[in-house]
Each structure stands twice: as structure tokens, then as C-alpha cells.
Chain A
Amino acid sequence: MRLEVRANPSAMATLLAGVGAVVFTLLVCALLILWANANVFAAYGAIFQGALGSQFAITETLTRATPLMLTGLAAAVAFRARLYNIGAEGQLYFGAMAAVAASVAMSNEAGELALPTFIAMPLMIAAGAVAGAALLLIPTLLKTRFKVDEVVTTLLLNFIALLFVSMLLDGPMKDPTAMGWPQSRALLPELEFAKLVERGRVHVGLLIAIALAIVLWIVIGFTRFGLSIRAVGANAKAAEFAGISVNATLIKVALLSGALAGLAGVGEVAGRTSYVTLDMSPGYGFSGIVIAMLAALNPLGVVFASVFVGGAIVGADAMSRAVNVPTYIADVIVATALIAVLVASLLTKYRVRWK
């Protein structure tokens, strides 16, 4: 078996590849559902109902999609410059922790907000973004200065970040009213994000994430900084030769990527949980990588990919209650879709010869 380059991949082939990837994913997961002794149509119906079948379902899906969108953007922008940020999980926790710390810092002795909300709110958001950015800056400087592989350092920093947060939750940031539960002090209610719909959990963070996706898409495609990111990612040597400072670009990208992951943490605290716990993210930072790959590193694609993944998770939850297939099917759907999309994009670029 060999791959031959296609001269000009047609738009039709690209579309067919996308449809093919979806059909392939549904077929593979159907086999697993059959194996679990459930009715395939009932299971898929339940997933769809659970994800998009009602207003409540849709708001739940979008609530899930919000942090995924931000970590997805964090991965997409970093990977565009070939800065492999595997540390979005830690950056998310840092962002969340910094938001709470900002809230504490901005409150007076009576535990009320000492500043007007319209000042305090941006400061809290900024604190989260800066914390995430700072955490990614360390491995990036190690990369630009000493050529230390950032895949290893960002990955391992996740554990350090989580342990550090855990220490804060047991120490200075411990919630005095939590009866010994490892959770942080609560965010001041004035700093919580407004909800978008009544009796739903979806919050303003979603709008922020979508707006950032659009801004990022414009930055990458239409600005000098975006061109530098793409040039550095595609060929750092040639970019350097053309007068683009590779190190400066990487550092800027790191600040941007870390800030986006930090914002995911801010969104979770301010929009959903109000306080930091060690189980507030079920691996959103890592799912962000999958989402970025599904979206072919396109920021607008990230919006749709994160809704897809969020929907799969929420839908699978509902489905497992209805037809008794484990919720792990959501992970399988996402993983299979990723592989199918990667293979499909390969097939639009190459032709397979079976000889």
C-alpha cells in the first residue's frame, strides 16, 4: 500500500471526506453499542436528545462546550506556531485559582467587594489570564533559551500546578466554611458571570469564548503577528531568515495560549462553580488538544468542534441513564471522530494505491 499525492484535491472530495468521517464514527460506535446489548437507534436517539433535544439539553451542551472552546483555542494557537502546549490543564487551574485570589484581594474586611464591579470584573478576568500565561511562559523560556522540549515540561507542569493548587486549597485559600473539604473560598457573588437563560447554567463565558475565537481567526489570517505565527509554525528556519524573530513570536504565542487556558479556568469559577475544587476540570485542558486537532487548528472550527465534543459528553450521560450503555461511549465517539477526521484529511491530500 502506498500514498500518492493528489494534484488538486477537489472541494467535493473534501466534503465527502467529512461526511465519510461522520458515518465511519457512527458505524464503529454502533458496534460497541451492540456489544453492550443495546439498541443502536435508541442509543443514538438518546444521545442526540440528551445533547440537543431540548432547551435544557442545548444549554447543558453549551455549558460544557465553553471551557472546551477556550482550551481548544489555547491549543490551536500554540500548535499553529509549533509550540506544543500540553499544559492547558494546569493553566486552567491557575486561571481559576487566580480569579478567586483576585476576588479575595479585592474584598474588604467585611467580605464585600471593595471596588465597583465594572472595575473588579475585568481585573479578575485579567488575573486569571495572566496566571495562565505566566505558567506557560516558564517552559517557553526554557525552550527559547535552552532548547528544552516543551512537550515534556508543559506536560509535567500540569502535575506541579495541580499540587500547588491543592496546597493552596489546604492552606491560604482554604474555604473556612467548608468543614474541611478541600475547596477554595467562594468567589464574591458580584464577580459571578451572568447566566444567559433562566434556569440554565450557560453563562456569559460562552459569548467571551466565541468572541475570542473570531478575534483569533482574524489575528491569524489578517495580521502581521498572525503571519509570523504561521511562518514560524510552518518553517522556523525560513521565518528567521525572513527577519521574523522566532523566539519573540513563540513567547507572544505562549502568553496568548496560556491566557486562553487561564480564561477557561476563570469561566468555570465565575460561570459555574464559584469556588475551586480539585475535580472542577475533567481534563478540559487535554480535550482542548483533541478539539484543536478536530478543527484543523482553525479558531472558528474550534467553536464547532467544542460544541460537538460537549454534546457527545452531555448526550452520552443522558443516554447511559436511558439505555444503560456506559458513558465512556462519549470518549470513544470523540476519539474515533478524531482519528476518522485525520484519516479523511489525509485521504483528500493523497490517493492510496493498493499495489
Chain B
Amino acid sequence: MSTLAQTLDARRAAADRSAVRTVAKHIGGVLVGVGAWYWPIIVLAAAIIALIQQRFDALDGSTVQYVVGSARWFAFSLGVIVPLAMIRPHLAAGGTRRALFRGVVRGAGLAGASFGLVIACLYAAEQGVWRLLDLDWHRSLGLDESTGAVGFAVNAVGEGLVAFTYFLLGAAVSAGFVRFGPWLGLVVCLSLGIPAVVADIALYAGPATALAQQVLGLSGPLPALAGLLVVVVAAAATCLALHLLLRSIPVKRTVF
């Protein structure tokens, strides 16, 4: 192999790695910057709901559960905005669509991990406060009512996977509109939403869990794991859709 070919090969591998890392780093930076505003507002909202419910003697369990539901839509919005804004600068800076896809998936992973951990921490903190106030903690929404380490893990993984899926869904929706225009894009985007809806139902309404319990006769943590498995499959389907949409997305000139 000639020196030139070796140089090109070395540059190809290095450029790919660097581009993926840079996309993920950029998304991570946005998550930190926007999250610094979002999460305190969520905590404040949960606290206000709790105070109002207590004022009217209606406090009967978790209030965090009512506000963290917005997190998936927040992840979805970030998924719509951030990768779309990056497509052209990323390609102009020398990146490839493949690197953008991988970087966005990593970025969605960061979103999922951070959202899952923060939500699990919020539930854990709320449980601690409820204990201090000598109140019973329970929730009406969600995969599992476990407290302690098991509850923390289930919340972190479940909510993290849903946030991951919704972030990817947001990216796929914006890529769908760029690729197919408003009408066909709308049809594509509606179909793209199916896996996310499945993930949502699996996590919160529990048909997968019920199916695992009643039809398959599973018990213990296995039904909850079955629910999580459905969310994983939904995330993988969304990931595949995003890959197909991004791999040949054309880039139009920015008009000033």
C-alpha cells in the first residue's frame, strides 16, 4: 500500500472517530445547558403540586410522577431541534452522515442516561421526603412501585430508555420532514411514532408486564423486565428508522 493510501486510511479512521465523538459532545453540552434550566423547574413544579394538594388535603402519593411525564417530550423536542441544526454545519465541517447518525445515537444515549438518573433521583428524593413527613409514598403511573435500590434501577433504566427513544424519534421526525417534505413527511413521521407509543404503553400502562404475568406466568422482576425489553425493541426500531433517514439526507443551502 502506498504512503498516500496509508495516510488516507489513517485519516478516514481518525476523522470518523473524532466526528462521532464531537457530535455526541455537542449534544451533551446542549443537554447540560438546557437541563440546568429544565430540571429545577420540574422540581419546583412537583413541590408546588405537593403543597397545593396538601393545602386541600388531597396529597395521596407521588407528585413527581405528574411532572416527569413531560421529560419525554422535552427529550423529543431536543431530538427535533439539535440534530437538525447540526446537519449542515457537521457536513460542512467535514463529517459524514454515518458519523452524524452514530453521534446522535450516542447523544440520545447521554440524554437517556441523564434523564433516567435524574428521574430516578427525583423519585428517590421524594420517597425520602415522604418518609420524613411520615406519609405513605406510592404512585399510580409507572412500571414498578418498588422503592429502594430496585425502584431506583427500574426508574433509571425505564425512564432512560423512553427518553432515549423519544430523542431518537425527534431526530427521525425532523429528518423525515427534511427528506420527504410536509405531506409525505407527516405520514412517515406518524408511522415513526409507533415504536415510541409502544414504549410508552409498555412502561406506563403495562400490557407487556400483564402479558408476561398472566399469559407466560412469569413472576418477580421478570414481568417488569419484559416491559423493559419491549422498550428496548422500540428504541432499536426508532434507531433503525433514523439510520435509514439520515444515510442519504440531502443538504440545502442556508438562505440569509
Chains A and B come from one and the same complex: no
Which B positions have Cβ atoms within 8 angstroms of A? none
Which A positions have Cβ atoms within 8 angstroms of B? none
